């Protein structure tokens, strides 16, 4: 929660007038506890999981011939029922694992120094932090993914993620609950190394999920199975 009762107090602490973005942030978050702001991650994830894969999914269902030339497996076509089953299972994991994890992980977020205070970060600062987050996550995710493809990891955990052998965007978070928890670690290490503003953290969560959905969309340049 911002420690200012009025905009004038905030500007006095900053030693300057607030930017339009800072004034907007102050207007809508001044009286909101940090924990409540952090929990908006749940809403963002739900929206991304639902809407980001939808355009390509609708194209595949309504105009498969138009999409097939751009897919890694052009002859594989999933039915509407399979798309719905995938999404329903993703929602089950979301409400049973991802959502509760967000609710209980705030102390770790606070401990590493992610904050909601003024001033807001510059675009350059946000870009630099996001670059670190992507590099760290990509490196750690690669090695954890390799371990999950070992005999024990695959049979006990990772095989769930490969139930959809023809990748679709909705299958990005389709996984065993243990894999969801394990792969949450690489996503958090970057923000722990280079903590920033909550806005940067929100943007990171959104971009990371969009990247995962795009990676599973089945288009050339994506991994056939991840």
pLDDT of residue 106: 95
Range of the domain at 199: 36-215
Q: Are residues 72 and 132 in the same domain?
A: yes
Q: Is residue 220 part of a domain?
A: no
* Long-range pairs of 95-102 with CB within 8 A, sequence gap ≥ 24: 96/177, 97/177, 97/180, 97/181, 98/42, 98/45, 98/173, 98/180, 99/42, 101/180, 101/181, 101/184, 102/38, 102/39, 102/41, 102/42, 102/45
17 and 95 fall within a common domain: no
Contact 2, 117 (CB under 8 A): yes
For residue 197, list its beta bridge partners.
115
Residue 217 confidence (pLDDT): 82
Cα separation of 102 and 36, whole Å? 11
Which residues, listed in sequence order, are joined to residue 115 by a DSSP beta bridge?
197
Query: How high is the pLDDT of residue 63?
Result: 86
| Count: domains in the chain | 2
Q: Report d(CA 49, CA 176) in Å as an integer.
A: 16
Do 10 and 52 sit in the same domain of this protein?
no
Which residues of the chain are modeled with pLDDT < 70? 219-226
Residue 50 lies in a domain: yes
Q: Which tokens sit at 57?
A: 């999914």
Query: Does 59 share its domain with 93?
Result: yes
What would the DSSP string read from start to end of 58-124?
Answer: HHHHH-HHHHGGGSSSTT----HHHHHHHHHHHHHHIIIIIHHHHHH-HHHHHHHT-B-PSSPPPHH
The rounded distance, in Å, linking the Cα atoms of 29 and 90 is 31
The reply to whether 96 and 7 lie within a common domain is no
Asked if 72 and 129 count as a contact pair (C-beta separation under 8 A), the reply is no
Q: Are residues 46 and 150 in the same domain?
A: yes
* Total Cβ atoms within 10 A of residue 8: 9
Q: Is 48 exposed, middle or buried (0-12, 13-18, 19+ CB in 10 A)?
A: buried
pLDDT at position 213 is 93
pTM of the model: 0.92
Does 130 share its domain with 199?
Answer: yes
Instruction: For residue 98, give Cα distances in angstroms to 124, 156, 176, 178.
Output: 30, 20, 12, 11
Quick one: 18 and 110 in the same domain? no
- Same structural domain, 116 and 165: yes
Same-domain check for residues 49 and 13? no
Cβ 129 vs Cβ 112: under 8 Å: no
For the four alpha carbons of 194, 200, 201 and 203, in that order, the dihedral sign comes to negative
């Amino acid at each position: 929660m911002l420690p200012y009762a009025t905009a004038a107090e905030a500007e006095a602490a900053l030693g300057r007038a607030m930017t339009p973005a800072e004034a907007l942030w102050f207007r809508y978050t001044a009286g909101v506890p940090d924990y409540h702001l952090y929990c908006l991650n749940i809403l963002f994830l739900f929206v991304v999981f639902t809407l980001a894969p939808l355009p390509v999914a609708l194209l595949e269902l309504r105009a498969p011939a138009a999409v097939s030339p751009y897919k890694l497996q052009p002859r594989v076509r999933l039915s509407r029922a399979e798309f719905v089953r995938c999404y329903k299972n993703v929602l089950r994991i979301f409400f049973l694992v991802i959502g509760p994890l967000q609710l209980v992980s705030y102390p770790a977020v606070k401990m590493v120094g992610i904050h909601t205070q003024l001033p807001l970060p510059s675009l350059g600062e946000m870009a630099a932090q996001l670059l670190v987050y992507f590099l760290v996550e990509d490196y750690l995710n690669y090695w954890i993914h390799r371990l999950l493809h070992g005999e024990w990891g695959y049979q006990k955990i990772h095989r769930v993620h490969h139930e959809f052998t023809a990748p679709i965007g909705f299958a990005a978070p389709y996984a065993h609950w243990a894999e969801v928890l394990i792969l949450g670690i690489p996503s958090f290490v970057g923000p722990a190394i280079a903590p920033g503003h909550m806005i940067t953290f929100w943007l990171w969560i959104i971009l990371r999920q969009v990247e995962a959905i795009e990676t599973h969309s089945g288009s050339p340049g994506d991994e056939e199975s991840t």
